Chains A and B, each alone.
Chain A
Amino acid sequence: MAAAKNTQHKVVLTIPDIGLSKTQINSLKRNFKNEVVTHLGGPEVLARRRIVVVVVVVIVFAQQKV
């Protein structure tokens, strides 16, 4: 059902370089994947309405601090 589909919206997070390999980062991304469901219109509407947005976490490196 189209109505049950969630609209996905990517959000970019930046983290400092703490010396992790790409494999380790991917593993951490999976383990800290939180599903953020944003509902419009407040709790009353929320109780009856569909999920509007799911935020998918994507992580990129920030420049290492000097």
Chain B
Amino acid sequence: MMHDRSVTPGQAEHPAPCAHHGGALRMCLVGPPTVTDFEDPEVAESEAIRLIAEHAPIGVLSLAAVLEQHGVAPQIVDLNRLYYAYLRAPGEAEAKQDFCSYVAEELDKLTFDVLGFSSICSSYPLTIRIARDMKQRRPDVPIIFGGPQASVVDVPTMEAYPFVDFVVRGEAEETLPALIKAIAAGASPAGIQGVTYREGDRLVRAPNAQIIADLDAIPLPAFHLYPELKDCHYVPLELGRGCPFACTFCSTNDFFRRKFRLKSPEKVIEQMRQVRDVYGITTFDLIHDMFTVDRKRVIAFCEAVIATGETFYWNCSARTDCIDDDMIATMARAGCKAIFFGIETGSARLQKIVKKNIDLNEATARIVATDRNQITTAVSLITGFPDETMEDLRDTVHFFADSLRFDFAEPQLHILAPLAETPLESHFRSQLVFDDILSDMSHQGWRQDPVDREMIQQHLDIFPNFYSIPTPALDRAYLRELRDFLLNGSARFRWLLVALHQDSRDVTKSFEAFRDWYATHPDKGPRPGLQESRYYASITFRDDFFEFVRDVYAPRFARTPRVLHSIMDYERALIAETPLPADTAIDGHDVSDITLVPKLVDGVVLTECAADYQRIIRCLRRKGDLRRIPRKPATIATRQHADKRLDVVLLSPLSAQLLKLCDGERDISEIATRLVPARRSMADIPTDKVCMFGLEVLRQQGLIALHRESAISASQACAS
């Protein structure tokens, strides 16, 4: 390992901070970025990324509240916010300084005596680079690292990066104030549990600190130091800590240990009320790795919330074997709107190997229950386990595709990241490879920052999550592409993917057939020079895939080609970019004036489908026999609204016939002569009245407008 000695350590011993002028010691706490170095503003500005980045930095805000109790004056820097400020700053991307220098410049404008960085694995290289820059600017300011990543790689970090003066490991509510007190006094941190520090040339790793037993004693996070909260849609609040399970890939045990702890319902409700009363926010991300371990306490919490009669909405994490349908219903009544289920793998065999041990049938039943209770459910799956076979992978993909049948399920597929000091990472450390097939957990944008990349290559022991555990039975490039295909496919054409899965009984076959197809079509598939992930995130992928299904899959392989065509027809209509109507206001005329000329409103598009889309969807939801979907031609009209809403109007056959006659040339009397109302039930109604009635319905539904003259007359008048 090469060690970075480019910066002389400023705090080899323990001098008191120079800027402590008799007042409260000032500590700047920097929250880790979840968004880093995206070069493409389009991606960084997407709603999904922005919502994640909106997550208030709860770790440093909690510590700030504790520090205030100890007479320290904290300030908060949220690198996600800073990143968006950087991204949105005027100027060409190429001309801008890099984000790391930008952050250092911003931090340099602040006044503080101690600088603390929280850390997560995905942005740890960036955190270290910023710390290095700050040490160069402020050599006398002690730098403290903490958080999940630094806690487990404290020693190699401090060995490699001498500008890191201290690492606070694990839960820091007691350790950090004690360390700050020692720093303020210029004393050695010897005796403070949970600190790794320098003593001369050697590193000292004090024993682990005790976990915080009474979580109710931790104050409300210092939201008053985070003015951006007013712009947030939701607020994270800690519900508890500690997961008693021992999954081999998970790092949470290292940080919060396995002792399950929960705040009291009274404390959580009190804090939710405080946030609501001050900031007007009633939606909460209630943070606990495994909230539902203790059924009685979950029910007690829900009943306490229900008993308030107040409206709070909240999200949480759970295991499918630690929750039941009654609990789910009670949670829904208490305001639960979203649950994260870590399913991890759809393979029963792998469930045992990775020690997750979830019963997959039970897991499906819980997803059905959350869907029934309208709780949005993240169904989190992982691929890339070292023992994973193609059969295991297919099981996982099947679980993913089956989950798509539930409206409220949002399946995720991740590539395994060997997180530092997890049982998996420890076992395979000597075999880790740096193959650029990164887990999304370590995703840094479309490409790795070259400076980060160099650091990662030099220090496997600090950044193992950027490496890969070899998968002898699986091609990792295949895994990455399959993941891109499934995630982007489910976002762009969810029901087509479900239908393909049902039609082929294995959606991976469709994926492989697509790869074979584009391999022989140079103008299709990932283009040279365009990164594969970027291709799958683009509209081009969707267009290529539709073409493949239409021209290749449906005629050659499909059992139910008509169903696939119908879904594509329908979904194509939904995604068609239609112009916004120029004027949808009712024009003051009505159909009793038969000289008026009806015309489709701008932005209304008609599409023919071979079968009833909604019946297909109902069939897919229950895994019914798609061959029983009858041929039933139908016409749909789509209509875009200014607020991005889209109406889809499934037209009755007579409405469709009438609408097609509204070509902007014929007046109502002429349309009436061409209309053929075939139904016997209308035999006694004069056709002109059928026509007038139908046109009025279509007009009031915003599909047609009535004009005084035909389009031809209007253009002639205009020309003359």
Contacts and interface: CB of A to CB of B under 8 A. Distances in A.
Interface stretch (B242-250, B436-444, B690-698): B690-698
Given A24-B685, A47-B494, A31 B654 contact: yes
A24 B592 contact: no
Contact of A3 (B372, B649, B696): B372
Contacts of A40: 645
B491 interface: yes
Contacts of A35: 649-650
Given A38-B647, A42-B645, A50-B407, A3 B371 contact: yes
Interface string B588-604: 00111000000000000
Contacts of B492: 44, 47
A61 to B, nearest CB: 11
Contacts of B493: 47
A11 B692 CA distance: 19
A31 B652 contact: yes
A20 B693 contact: yes
B302 to A, nearest CB: 19
Contacts of A41: 644-645
A38 B574 CA distance: 11
Interface string A1-39: 111100000000111101110001101101111111111
B685 A28 contact: yes
A36 B374 contact: no
B326 interface: no
Contacts of B491: 44, 47-48
A18 B371 contact: no
B575 A30 contact: no
Nearest to A36: B649
A64 to B, nearest CB: 10
A55 B571 CA distance: 20
A13 B646 contact: no
Interface string B633-668: 000000000001111111110110000000000000
B101 interface: no
Contacts of A3: 371-372, 374, 406-408
A36 B647 CA distance: 6
Contacts of B371: 1-3
A19 to B, nearest CB: 7
Nearest to A48: B494
Interface stretch (B188-196, B230-238, B506-514, B676-684): B676-684
Contact of B646 (A18, A39, A59): A39
Contacts of A47: 491-495, 571, 574-575
A16 B693 CA distance: 9
B490 interface: yes
A42 B646 contact: yes
B701 interface: yes
Nearest to A49: B407
Interface string B355-396: 000000000000010011110000000000000000000000
B592 A16 contact: yes
Contact of B650 (A13, A37, A65): A37
Contacts, number: 135
B591 A16 contact: yes
B433 to A, nearest CB: 35
Contact of A24 (B649, B684, B701): B684
Interface of B: 368, 371-374, 406-408, 490-495, 571, 574-576, 590-592, 614, 618, 621, 644-652, 654-655, 677, 679, 681-682, 684-685, 689-690, 692-694, 696-698, 700-701
25 contacts: A1-B371, A3-B406, A13-B697, A14-B700, A15-B696, A18-B692, A19-B689, A20-B685, A27-B679, A28-B682, A31-B677, A32-B652, A32-B655, A32-B693, A36-B648, A36-B650, A37-B648, A38-B648, A39-B647, A42-B645, A43-B574, A44-B491, A47-B493, A47-B494, A48-B491
Given A1-B372, A20-B689, A34 B681 contact: no
A21 B77 CA distance: 72
A41 B644 CA distance: 6
B693 A28 contact: yes
Interface residues of A, number: 40
Give 9 nearest A-B pairs by CB, closest first.
A42-B644, A48-B494, A35-B650, A50-B407, A3-B407, A37-B648, A13-B700, A27-B681, A32-B697
B412 to A, nearest CB: 13
Contacts of A43: 574-576, 646
Contact of B689 (A18, A38, A39): A18
A66 to B, nearest CB: 13
Given A30-B681, A34-B655, A37-B650, 12 more contacts: A3-B406, A13-B696, A15-B591, A20-B685, A24-B685, A27-B679, A31-B677, A31-B694, A32-B698, A38-B647, A41-B645, A50-B407
B591 A39 contact: no
A51 to B, nearest CB: 8
Contacts of B698: 32, 34
Given A20-B689, A34-B701, A27 B682 contact: yes
Contact of B647 (A4, A25, A37): A37
Contacts of A15: 590-591, 693, 696-697
Contact of B649 (A19, A30, A34, A65): A34
A2 B652 CA distance: 26
A31 B571 CA distance: 25
Contact of B685 (A27, A49, A59): A27
Contact of A46 (B614, B646, B693): B646
Contacts of A34: 649-652, 655, 697-698, 701
Nearest to B654: A31
Nearest to A2: B372
Contacts of B373: 2
A21 to B, nearest CB: 9
A39 B645 contact: yes
Given A31-B677, A42-B644, A50-B407, A1 B697 contact: no
